[in-house]
Amino acid sequence: MKLTIFNGSPRGEGSNTKVFLEHFLNGFTQTPGNSFEAHYLKDTAEHSRFAGIFNQAEAVMLAFPLYTDAMPGIVKAFIEELRPRIAAVESQPKRVLFLVQSGFPEAIQIEAVEQYLIKLARRLCCECAGIIVKGGGEGIQLMPAHVTRKIFGQFYSLGEIFGQNRTLDVQLLKKIRGMKRFPAWMLPGVYLMKLTGLMDFFWNAKLKENNAFDLRFDRPYAPETMKDS
């Protein structure tokens, strides 16, 4: 099997999404005859060509980070590029699987886009081979090996089994998904981090870096704002 990867992270080859994919693909290619090719959706000028590759691929994996409960704009743009070609693939259904990783630890953050992806596969006349959900992905590249060994091993095993059986192991998917919500005993610590500003430290630094800190509470699409404009 040849698996065609579309990495939808704006960070491209330096993304956390690529890190998770690498371990999955290392397992996948353990089976003789399996191979893959990867494309990066941040190259928006190539979207039309990528759409053609999607249509001709034997099997596809679309991977991206969660951006405010949805997907990055470049992923949505790529999906829109596929629309005119739906009829062309109706007679050639293919298998498509998804990887959605998020900086948020709680898997519930990804559930809305997960349902969308199931519908997307159906609209593209593809068989949905499964959705890999992974929370807490932000900073994974900075974590020491003893912290990441378990999760990377799970991704490797998931890819290895998929390479052998063409299916995603349900038990491994559950382990990778992790907690749906913070358990009650963790909430006091979460609230403390919020009150002390530790929870917002990283994102506030990014806002300042991009001269957007003073705009963080803006609501450009609020009804009252739209009336003024």
Q: Say what angle helices 16-28 and 145-165 make with each other, to 10 degrees.
A: 50
As a whole number of angstroms, the distance between CA 9 and CA 63 comes to 8
Asked whether the whole model's pTM tops 0.95, one would answer: no
Residue ranges of domains in the chain, CATH in brackets: 2-177 (3.40.50.360), 184-228 (no CATH)
Residue position matching structure tokens 């990014």:
206
pLDDT at 103: 85
pLDDT of 63-83, one tens digit each?
999 987 789 999 999 999 986
pLDDT at 136: 86
Confidence of residue 91 (pLDDT cuts 50, 70, 90): low
pLDDT at 191: 73
Alpha carbon distances (Å) from 208 to 129, 201, 212, 220 = 41, 11, 6, 19
Q: Is the pLDDT of residue 195 over 70?
A: yes
pLDDT of 138-190, one tens digit each?
788 888 888 899 999 999 999 999 999 999 999 999 999 988 877 777 668 76
As a whole number of angstroms, the distance between CA 177 and CA 73 comes to 24
Q: Are 63 and 3 in contact (CB under 8 A)?
A: no
Q: Which of 122, 20, 124, 5 lies closest to 66, judged by CA?
A: 20
**Strands of 95-101's sheet in order across:** 35-40, 2-7, 59-65, 95-101, 127-134
Q: Is the pLDDT of residue 120 over 70?
A: yes
User: Count of CB atoms within 10 A of residue 81's CB?
Assistant: 18
Q: Are 110 and 133 in contact (CB under 8 A)?
A: yes
